[in-house]
Structure 1
Amino acid sequence: MTLTAEDRTAIAELISLHGHLFDGGELDRMHELFTTDVTYDVTDIGGVSIEGVAALRDAALAMGELNPVGHHVTNIVLTEFADGQVHARSKGIGIRSDGTCASVTYEDTISRSDQGWRISHRKVLARRTPLGAPAGA
């Protein structure tokens, strides 16, 4: 399979839609982003690995006011796998209500279904050390 320009656009829009739905509290639309059995791994930022759309929705609601007020995604890079899945790597910036922010990298596995492209696995990796800084700085 070769990714078409239309596939690339659809996947980029899928990844971008994440912030709009979460920030707007439209958690009942997560099926538009993720497979029903999605694995959403936030262990690197102090959370757990969440299994399934329903559990992901519950986890977002449980965070309450600790949720960022803004999820922003940039720098989407797509790599095609031989099995038809796509690996997407993107940068995320989360803005908290107190104005502080954090940067992460999203590592996604994306699959095509009857409903279109969906994220089946997401690993969220924290960015803690700037380029050139010693580890642990």
Structure 2
Amino acid sequence: MPLTPDDRTAITDLINLHGHLTDSGDFDALHEVFVPDVVYDVGDLGGGVIVGLAALRDAALALGEANPVAHHVTNIVVTDVAGGRARAVSKGIGVNVDGTTGSVTYEDALVCGDQGWRISHRVVRARRIPLTR
């Protein structure tokens, strides 16, 4: 069954929620965005692959003051995979404490379960060079 408009809205809201939770330091609510055994790949940013909500929370806390003060997500494109699964790609802009910014691309695999849509796997790719594939 193809994704409904309600599915697309729920997925978009879910991806947007990540930045709000992260920026407020509400890491205990990350279960609202990710499955418990989420695979979060920040290898392109030098952070390796993080598995599970507790490890994701610990990694964010370990960054401390190096965390961006704001995460902004835009250009969300959702693709139906079928069988309660979807993919999304989006752009992220991070604002650092010193005012500098960085750009990333989020590549998400999503699943729909009893609690609704959740991200099961995220790859974060840094955008450092214009016009790359």
Instruction: Provide the TM-score with structure 2 as the length reference.
Output: 0.97
Give 3-state SS (helix, strand or coil) of 2:50's partner.
strand
Aligned to 2:79: 79
Between the aligned partners of 2:43 and 2:110, the Cα distance in structure 1 is 20
Between the aligned partners of 1:129 and 1:59, the Cα distance in structure 2 is 26
Aligned to 2:30: 30
Between the aligned partners of 2:107 and 2:4, the Cα distance in structure 1 is 21
Q: Give % identity.
A: 64
Runs (4 or more) in structure 1 with deviation over 2 Å come to none
After superposition, where does 1:1-137 map in structure 2 within 5 Å? 1-131=1-131
1:49-75: CA deviation from partner (whole Å, max 9, x where unpaired):
000001000000000000000000000
AA matched with 1:74: T
Task: Give the root-mean-square deviation of aligned CA atoms.
Answer: 1.0
Between the aligned partners of 1:84 and 1:112, the Cα distance in structure 2 is 5
Unaligned runs of 5+ in 2: none
Instruction: Provide the TM-score with structure 1 as the length reference.
Output: 0.94
**Mean Cα displacement is larger for which, 80-89 or 107-116?**
80-89
Aligned to 1:135: none
**Mean Cα displacement is larger for which, 97-106 or 77-86?**
77-86
Unaligned runs of 5+ in 1: 133-137
Give 3-state SS (helix, strand or coil) of 1:56's partner.
helix
Give 3-state SS (helix, strand or coil) of 1:21's partner.
helix
